[in-house]
A and B are shown apart, each in its own frame.
Chain A
């Protein structure tokens, strides 16, 4: 079963409230988690995302793509990283998300659809 684990939060404001030791522990956890998932064969893809304040929004204006800044700085909780994993059970995905939740504001898990639904 493939799942996407999404980590929400705001890296900079998170960092404002934590200690150096906490960040060191978090870095160690992230590095180890990526290694473990790779070793177990469960990792499909993982990526951290640059801060939302550096994002741009693209929309069509008169049929032409126009890029603007945003989402805007007041967006406190945005997607900051994700893993796509292929795991045996729902229990495993809850376990993984739980480990990440210790370091994230909010973790959301969505199963990836691998076939169109039966109609």
Chain B
């Protein structure tokens, strides 16, 4: 079934709000989620025919509540039917604080008791309003697997007694970090698809940006929420220029900068400027600042590499890790020469966390090429090409290698 994009947008926004109202009213996340899914299905069938109701959210809440109550009624029919129904608070709520509900829903979906893949899936379905089939396609797993993952996650929340309500004040900051991490991973999966034949899944990046924008409206005071949103906008602004027509990645230095989205860059920079210097600087703000320096350079040669290097040095103190070190090595090479960068890359050779990635050899190839060691660069590119599961990356690395003498 194809819906008008406007109707689809409406459903995506209204669905988590409706779910929030139901869960707050009745508890029982899993049963409420099923009821909202059924209401969404009904909306998808009726709205294109009968027109969109005046208040889509109220419509969804009403239909989903009815489904939920029906479900409870039939489940409890054998015993205590009347008592249970009477016990439910069926009074229509007044104008509720719906925005807080959506935030609470995000906290619930990113519950630390759930494994990370389940957090991602549940967030996309309950807050993002994506169907199980869409989420399965995005993560390249069969729909049945994804359905099982979502249903297990809901059971686990139920069994763990996860309660619908804002986290305790002392837990809030930590839980918000988890939510940010999940949104960051959704964005990254869309921006750099980890395997398969497509480099980018624009649907996932768009969804991650939409959810982070929503979170930013709900928690505007948090510098890292703004930082993550700015990072996504500044990175996604380069999307059009990142691949050739055949889907082969184009490195930053060779991208046609006129194809970058100037409006989105301006948005990201403004957002970042509004929070920088307003308290402790976190990793997302720092990564956004690095992206902004790249985006604001009129050409690759005019990039302010010393500033990027300084930012990576701070980032490595705040959030150390081999991937940050690898990125810093590129900045070191651009400021102090390729040999200095290669020395830093060498320190990662024995890092177990790098054994599963082809990026170490890809960066090494690039720096060796800059240093003039063309046959060494070629070998590094070929090693990297063997190790990636991404078809476009493999093609890019093979092309780099083939352009160099053996």
Contact = CB atoms under 8 A, between A and B. Distances in A.
Given A27-B246, A31-B247, A15 B385 contact: yes
Interface residues of B, number: 21
Contacts of B382: 12, 15-16
Contacts of B388: 50
Contacts of A102: none
A23 B246 CA distance: 12
Interface in A1-47: 11-12, 15-16, 18-20, 22-24, 27-28, 31, 34
B398 A15 contact: yes
A10 to B, nearest CB: 9
Contacts of A34: 197
How many chain A residues sit at the interface, stated as a range, is 10 to 19
B197 A16 contact: no
Given A11-B394, A23-B395, A28-B246, A54 B385 contact: no
A11 B385 CA distance: 8
A70 interface: no
A81 to B, nearest CB: 9
Interface in A36-76: 48, 50-51, 53-54
A12 B406 CA distance: 13
B402 A19 contact: yes
A23 to B, nearest CB: 5
A19 B394 CA distance: 15
A31 B386 contact: no
Contact of B402 (A15, A28, A53): A15
Interface in B385-406: 385-389, 391, 394-395, 398-399, 401-403, 406
Nearest to A17: B406
Contacts of A12: 382-383, 385-386, 398
Given A12-B386, A51-B387, A31 B246 contact: yes
Contacts of B374: none
A109 to B, nearest CB: 21
Given A15-B382, A31-B246, A51-B386, A23 B399 contact: yes
Given A23-B395, A31-B246, A48-B391, A11 B386 contact: yes
A24 B399 CA distance: 8
B395 A53 contact: no
B248 A27 contact: yes
A34 B391 CA distance: 13
A51 to B, nearest CB: 4
Contacts of B386: 11-12, 51, 53-54
A48 B402 contact: no
Given A11-B385, A51-B387, A16 B406 contact: yes
A20 B394 contact: no
Given A20-B403, A27-B246, A27-B248, A11 B389 contact: no
Given A15-B382, A15-B401, A54 B387 contact: yes
Contacts of B195: 50
Given A50-B388, A50-B389, A18 B402 contact: yes
A50 B197 CA distance: 11
Contacts of A28: 246
Q: Which among B383, B388, B395, B406 has the highest number of chain A CB atoms within 10 Å?
A: B395
A73 to B, nearest CB: 9
Nearest to A15: B398
Given A15-B402, A19-B402, A54-B389, 9 more contacts: A15-B385, A15-B398, A16-B406, A20-B402, A22-B402, A27-B246, A28-B246, A48-B394, A53-B387
Interface of B: 195, 197, 246-248, 382-383, 385-389, 391, 394-395, 398-399, 401-403, 406
Interface of A: 11-12, 15-16, 18-20, 22-24, 27-28, 31, 34, 48, 50-51, 53-54
12 contacts: A11-B394, A12-B382, A15-B385, A20-B399, A20-B402, A20-B403, A23-B398, A23-B399, A23-B402, A48-B197, A50-B387, A51-B386
